[in-house]
Copies of this chain bind each other. A is one copy, B any other.
Amino acid sequence: MSNATIIAVDAMGGDFGPSVVVPGAIEAARDKGIALLLVGDQAKVQAELARIPLDGVAYDVVHASEVAGMDEKPSDILRRRKDASIQVACRLVRDGQAHGIVSAGHSGATVACGMFIMGRIPGVDRPALATIMPTEKNPIVLLDVGANVDCKPHHLFQFGLMADAFARDLLSCESPRVGLLSIGEEEGKGNTQVKEAYELFKLAQNGINFVGNVEGRDIFSGEVDVVVCDGFVGNVALKLSEGLSTSLGRVLKRELLSGLLPKIGTLLAKSAFRRFAQFVDYAEYGGAPLLGLQGIAFVCHGKSNSKAVRSAVKLAATFVEKKTNERLIKAISANEELTRYGKAIK
């Protein structure tokens, strides 16, 4: 496995555990020549492996005797569950045995274990959870979507630098347009946090293409590539988008099927909803990258199916191969003084 990208996958995570994580990860490994470390209960993981073809896949099972419970506090998991699969996976990265992790388990635990076991990149105060959202045009990166609920302006600034580095590789785009989520496009609009972050972005070094404030209505029009906000606002935005899409979908389906021509309505609805579904299909990208760690980390939705796990493992490997973290480290260090300035003014 020496030259391959090695991804440690938390095999126990998610609502469906090894039954979807193991096949999804194996498929990704086969598709892309990734070397896998499947971390979890040896017997359960082996039982799933026995069900599927494994030819041509480089994998190993790393036993972990515990699983992080969904109702446990991240700090308790970190302190007390030393043999939880997520902890073991993070230690593999810390010890140089893997390049990245993917987990569909307790996302708070992944953030905590990633931060304290894998460690942060110097100059990053808070790792941020980024989500990749489809829009009418290109997909965009929205962050933070929940890792940090109380943020200072310089945290938002760091989020922007990190997302810029990721968006370049994700969207294969030379100069992603980075916008700050606010409540008016003009400079000077927003709350105190956003207004101060704006000042930092204006001064940013290393060629970040800061396009100023963007409003809620601009997220889905695809006019920017990166949207920066704090984890409270981002999480509300993400869940509101999911909820509204689902509600609108239900309303429309009902209307189409109750129309004059219900059978044709069904046919048309089916095709139309295929595109619509992409707006809410988390499986498309599979997971949310957790940026700012020493190594690549991907958080998948608890409801992930094997397609989502496969996408996330492949995307994690892409970021390893494109050395996205090296780009991120450069962006942060080029702006070291500014993030210090940010701290000084708060």
Contact = CB atoms under 8 A, between A and B. Distances in A.
Interface of A: 135-136, 146, 149-150, 181-183, 190-192, 194, 215-221, 229-233, 235-248, 250-252, 254-256, 259-261, 264-265, 267-268, 271-272, 274-276, 279
Contacts of A265: 268
Max chain B CB contacts within 10 Å: which of A192, A238, A244?
A244
A238 B217 CA distance: 8
A194 B251 CA distance: 31
Give the most central of A230, A247, A275: most B CB within 10 Å: A247
Contacts of A237: 216, 236-237, 240
A250 B194 CA distance: 31
Nearest to A234: B183
Contact of A218 (B194, B243, B245, B250): B243
A269 B279 CA distance: 19
Contact of A255 (B194, B267, B272): B272
B236 A220 contact: no
Given A216-B243, A217-B239, 7 more contacts: A149-B192, A217-B242, A220-B240, A220-B247, A220-B248, A240-B240, A245-B248
B251 A252 contact: no
A256 B233 CA distance: 33
A236 B261 contact: no
B220 A243 contact: yes
Contacts of A146: 183
Nearest to A250: B136
**Residue of A240, A246, A255 with highest tally of chain B CB at under 10 A:** A240
